[in-house]
Amino acid sequence: KAGVTQTPRYLIKTRGQQVTLSCSPISGHRSVSWYQQTPGQGLQFLFEYFSETQRNKGNFPGRFSGRQFSNSRSEMNVSTLELGDSALYLCASSQGLAGGQETQYFGPGTRLLVL
């Protein structure tokens, strides 16, 4: 099966702009989780979507949002970008089975630089 794909791979934006990142999960996987990776904070959970519904959310401001489509593809949006939003954004997919302790499979990430 093809792995998790993310587009674009690199983005440069300026403060105040907004950005949309896309994630295509492994075929058959219905859960998509998003993470932010920075040198200072490490890997932090943003949110998780399953069957087009947000099931879980991390401690990020409302500027960070997401959605999931009927084909399980997911997008995340960051509005009013700040310099501190510069990071590698990772998405991960899993089957989304009840109990929630599944292996997550990661994409290559989108590297966002905010100037």
Partner 1 sequence: AQRVTQPEKLLSVFKGAPVELKCNYSYSGSPELFWYVQYSRQRLQLLLRHISRESIKGFTADLNKGETSFHLKKPFAQEEDSAMYYCALSSSSNTGKLIFGQGTTLQVKP
- Which stretches of the chain bind partner 1, using CB under 8 A? 3, 31, 33, 35, 42-45, 48-50, 55-56, 58, 90, 92, 94, 96, 99-109
Contact between residue 111 and residue 47 where contact means Cβ atoms under 8 Å apart: no
Taking the least distance from each CB to partner 1, the nearer of 47 and 81 is 47
SS3 category, 56? strand
Taking the least distance from each CB to partner 1, the nearer of 13 and 55 is 55
Nearest of 3, 4, 32, 8 to residue 110 by alpha carbon: 8
Taking the least distance from each CB to partner 1, the nearer of 17 and 88 is 88
At position 67, the amino acid (one-letter code) is R
